Chain A
Amino acid sequence: MANRIARAGGALVLVSALALSACSTGAGTDGGTDAADACTPSDGPVTLSFTTWLPGMEDAAAIWNEQNPDIQVEVQTGPNGLGGTYNNFFNQIEAGNAPDLGQIEYDALPNFRVQDGVVNIASCEGVMDAQDEFIDWTWSQVTFGEEDSVYAIPQDTGPEALFYRADLFEAAGIDIPTTWDEYAEAAAQIREEGGYITNFSQSDINAFAGLVWQADGQWFENDGEAWDVTLDSPESLKVADYWQGLLDDDLVATLPAWTDEWNNGYNSGDVWSWVSAVWGANSITSGAPDTAGNWAVAPMPQWNEGDSAAGNWGGSSTAVLKGSEHPYEAAQFALWLNTDPEALASMNATANIYPATKTGGDLPAFSEGLDFFGGQNIYDVFAAAGAEVNPDFTWGPTMTQVYTDVADGFSGAISGSGTLTDALTIGQQKTIDAMKAAAIAVNE
């Protein structure tokens, strides 16, 4: 069965690639409507469809449906975005039967923007006013810095921090690293103890992007006319060099991420720390049950001593998809879903989401210490990190391709052919080629 799923996944990727290129060429170039689309209430009761892969969204929708008899929301589901839902959205938009609302991750939103798949809801009542409720960087993710434009409502975020084995660090007499230099020194000490300080994932390119994000790097920029691709920016290469150094000295493990092997690395105490997003707490709690009580969370190590920069890994938004006949009502629901404390608490309970609102960290669920982390209230650390995420980081319109190409290079680097830096340089060229092939304006 697992095998069958894997194979189906393989076929899916192939077909996705075909569908993606077909869509891109069909939809033309960057641009779309400049002014916000008109947004007026519909007459009479409406039913909205909402496709999301968060489990238990029905619960949040039920609260809304109770309070809004004239705007009923029907929840539909699918696999996670890259697992098929994004392709479904594009197919449905093409066929004219897309759901009114869809979940879209920040790194996929530019693709939908470029292909004109999402509605600009800036003129819908209350949308522009909601800006102050959201953490600054999430708002720039959904507006792309354009005037009078809002393409989605931020839903959740993944601010990053350092998960570490407090007991092991203490027993070995190693201080918790606050800079990346200290982190590398600690890595060497831990290697002498027989462990690895962390695991470097060859497949989670968006996690690597989070590290570049923290280093104030950029992978993409859009000046309104064309894209700049900067996978090989100095900051990006600095981060790559740093990790290549750790790889060369065998100071980090290279277990394939999200496998049993990887879980076991943490569960057995071979791997001592993990720079990850707030939702990583769930992964570590379920993946390493034997280590309960021994973990703690500290801010990410810094490039410059005394800084407090943080990266971000993951996060979604709720967008109104092209073709919706009720953008006004859809926007109202999206706003409510992602700001109302009751809705946020419901989504946190069923899907572990960490809200994108400034006050989201005040939910009761985030106010208690967790036994797994020795009673520490880890969410304080993540709330502080969320406020330090660089608001200017921009995702490109072809992230699926970027992830695939860079992951190819990274796995090569880990098996000894080429380096992480090479992977980024090659990825840079492949990305430019892919964007040109999709008729997206790009500066070279």
Chain B
Amino acid sequence: MSATKAPVKKHNGPRESLFSRSGAMLVMAICTFYFLIPIWWLFVAATKDRGDFTSSAPLWFADFNLVENIVNLANYRDGLFFQWMLNSILYAGAGAAVATLFATMMGYALAKYSFRGRETLFNVVLGGVLVPATALALPLFLVFSQVGATNTFWSVFLPSIVSPFGVYLARIYATSSVPDELVEAARIDGSGEVRTFFTVATRLMTPAMVTIFLFQFVTIWNNFFLPLIMLRDEKLFPVTLGLYIWNSQVNQIPEIRAYVIIGALLSIIPLIIAFLSLQRFWRSGLGTGALK
């Protein structure tokens, strides 16, 4: 039961009827179609020049100008958009990495050490899951104002490195996947607690860590309200905020619409890459967490 990379087990139970199976497939096909249509629209729209954008069919190609549009975007305001992409990758990538480390350490500690106030501490952290990030943005702004750190990289980065849900997931996972005997054996062999964590526990907890990383990466990538409140220097903006600001200028500067659309398309690429490359960990990680 404690296999870290359990192969997907073949289901040998009684098979469902053809009717219910095709019914399920139909529902799923409709859902997939429904969710993919906006992305398809975005892709098609990103390949059009301005004239075709309004006049041609929205869900099919006119002249294919994707490359031209990307070049235009790269030239607009000296490639500001790609600065935003880099910022987002930095906020989300580094933020999620640090958040994963912290969450895993705490989850492991809560699972493997018994100390006074352990459950209280855990419940307080769990309470953090219930507080939406949006509600914390304004208090955070006032706190950062006190120390004069608004409109800096840190004002967006620091609040991103905590993940209460990650702590929860890490604790559950550590309880089931890191046997007490193994930790005990490491101690007997003379390994310190920190070394045990990094050499033994993290190996066993990799699926959970990948899951936490992905969750947090997506959360930070999509976090829009905190940067909106904190940042005023456009060189620090993440891509979501930058595109939102451009989008709000469309009424007055209509050319920007094309940049918003092509930018929106490009901005989902890192998320797709992250998902595809870490997908198998994501699945096994989530499944294990859910079963326990």
Q: Decide whether A and B are members of one complex.
A: yes
Distance of A351 Cα from B58 Cα, bound (Å): 28
Contact B240 A51 (CB under 8 A): no
| Max chain A C-beta neighbours (<10 A), residue from B253, B257, B268 | B253
Distance of A8 Cα from B264 Cα, bound (Å): 14
- Smallest CB separation, A82 vs chain B (Å): 9
| B20: Cβ under 8 A from any A Cβ | no
Given contacts A76-B233, A289-B50, A352-B252, A1 and B55 within 8 Å (CB-CB): no
- Of the residues A83, A96, A97, A99, contact of B244 by C-beta under 8 Å: A83
Residue of A nearest to B58 (CB): A260
Contact residues in A for B26 (Cβ distance below 8 Å): none
One digit per residue, 1 when the CB lies within 8 angstroms of any chain A CB and 0 when it does not, for chain B 52-86 equals 01110010000000000000000001000000000
Residue of B nearest to A284 (CB): B254
Contact residues in A for B54 (Cβ distance below 8 Å): 260, 263-264, 267, 287-289
| A33: Cβ under 8 A from any B Cβ | no
Residue of A nearest to B228 (CB): A84
Distance of A56 Cα from B256 Cα, bound (Å): 13
Given contacts A84-B228, A282-B254, A287-B254, A76 and B234 within 8 Å (CB-CB): yes
Given contacts A11-B225, A78-B228, A91-B138, 13 further A-B contacts (CB under 8 A): A1-B243, A8-B225, A15-B134, A19-B138, A76-B232, A77-B234, A78-B232, A78-B245, A84-B228, A282-B253, A286-B50, A286-B257, A287-B54
Among the 9-residue stretches B105-113, B141-149, B158-166, B189-197, the one with 4 or more Cβ atoms under 8 Å from chain A is B141-149
Contact B232 A99 (CB under 8 A): yes
Contact residues in A for B245 (Cβ distance below 8 Å): 53, 77-79, 83
Within 8 A of A (CB), among B233-253: 233-234, 240, 243-245, 247-253
Contact A283 B254 (CB under 8 A): yes
Contact residues in B for A51 (Cβ distance below 8 Å): 232
One digit per residue, 1 when the CB lies within 8 angstroms of any chain A CB and 0 when it does not, for chain B 210-230 equals 000000000000101100110
Contact A97 B148 (CB under 8 A): yes
- Smallest CB separation, A248 vs chain B (Å): 29
Contact residues in A for B265 (Cβ distance below 8 Å): 1
One digit per residue, 1 when the CB lies within 8 angstroms of any chain A CB and 0 when it does not, for chain B 151-178 equals 1000000000000000000000000000
Residue of B nearest to A11 (CB): B134
Distance of A5 Cα from B261 Cα, bound (Å): 12
One digit per residue, 1 when the CB lies within 8 angstroms of any chain B CB and 0 when it does not, for chain A 58-96 equals 000000000000000000111110011001100110111
Number of A-B contacts (CB under 8 A): 120
Some 8 contacts from A to B, beta carbons below 8 A apart, are A51-B232, A53-B248, A55-B77, A79-B248, A83-B248, A260-B54, A267-B54, A351-B253
Given contacts A76-B234, A288-B54, A88 and B145 within 8 Å (CB-CB): no
Contact residues in A for B47 (Cβ distance below 8 Å): none
- Smallest CB separation, B122 vs chain A (Å): 29
Contact B251 A258 (CB under 8 A): yes
| A2: Cβ under 8 A from any B Cβ | yes
| B7: Cβ under 8 A from any A Cβ | no
Distance of A285 Cα from B255 Cα, bound (Å): 10
Contact B225 A5 (CB under 8 A): no
Residue of B nearest to A80 (CB): B248
Contact residues in A for B77 (Cβ distance below 8 Å): 55-56
Distance of A76 Cα from B234 Cα, bound (Å): 7
Contact residues in A for B141 (Cβ distance below 8 Å): 91, 95
Contact A97 B145 (CB under 8 A): yes
| B129: Cβ under 8 A from any A Cβ | no
| Max chain A C-beta neighbours (<10 A), residue from B58, B134, B137, B232 | B232
- Smallest CB separation, B116 vs chain A (Å): 38
Distance of A279 Cα from B254 Cα, bound (Å): 10
Q: Which B residues contact A (CB, under 8 angstroms)?
A: 38, 42, 50-51, 53-55, 58, 77, 134, 137-138, 141-142, 145-146, 148, 150-151, 222, 224-225, 228-229, 232-234, 240, 243-245, 247-257, 264-265, 267-268
Contact B42 A1 (CB under 8 A): yes
Distance of A325 Cα from B254 Cα, bound (Å): 37
Contact B254 A286 (CB under 8 A): yes
- Smallest CB separation, A97 vs chain B (Å): 5
- Of the residues B50, B232, B255, B264, contact of A2 by C-beta under 8 Å: B264
Residue of A nearest to B268 (CB): A1
Given contacts A1-B267, A97-B150, A290 and B55 within 8 Å (CB-CB): yes
Residue of B nearest to A56 (CB): B77
- Smallest CB separation, A178 vs chain B (Å): 28
- Smallest CB separation, A112 vs chain B (Å): 18
One digit per residue, 1 when the CB lies within 8 angstroms of any chain B CB and 0 when it does not, for chain A 22-62 equals 00000000000000000000000000010101011000000
Distance of A5 Cα from B51 Cα, bound (Å): 24
Given contacts A88-B229, A264-B55, A290-B55, A282 and B222 within 8 Å (CB-CB): no
| Max chain B C-beta neighbours (<10 A), residue from A51, A95, A96, A279 | A95
Contact residues in A for B253 (Cβ distance below 8 Å): 55, 282, 351-352
- Of the residues B55, B250, B255, B267, contact of A267 by C-beta under 8 Å: B55
